[in-house]
Amino acid sequence: VQLQASGGGLVQPGGSLRLSCTVSGDTLEDYTIGWFRQAPGKEREGVSCISRVRGSTFYKASVRGRFTISRDNTKNTAYLQMNRLTPEDTAVYFCTVDRGYADSVVAQVGCAYGMKHWGKGTQVTVSS
């Protein structure tokens, strides 16, 4: 399975971006989807996760209420809508998928136990 993230760019604080992740080589509906990010000099961190069956979601505390994860299995594409962006959101964002994860696990801890497939990241820069 191959993943291609897009939609990153430069945005002013308070602005919005929508990241997309297109999956090829397999059917997205069979996968849990996670978005991760890595800022310069910092460790990679999970941002959001959506389960494959019920669409249960999980958000990192600092993005909850500002970011929305979604999936369109008919288009084999996942999304991360990011609103009210701050400079602290500046990072390379990665989309990931994994066949594992029960809905209940995603709802409680997100994609915390590792993801099998990773795409190349897309840069998000929030700056005035």
HEC string of the chain equals CEEEEECCEEECCCCCEEEEEEEECCCHHHCEEEEEEECCCCCCEEEEEECCCCCCEEECHHHECCEEEEEECCCCEEEEEECCCCHHHCEEEEEEEECCCCHHHHHHHCCCCCCCEECECEEEEECC
pLDDT at position 78: 97
pLDDT score at 34: 97
pLDDT at position 118 is 96
User: For residue 71, what pLDDT band results from cuts at 50, 70 and 90?
Assistant: very high
In the prediction, which pLDDT does 81 show?
Answer: 98
Q: Give the model's pLDDT for residue 49.
A: 97
| Average pLDDT value over all residues in the chain | 96
Mean pLDDT in residue range 42-59: 96
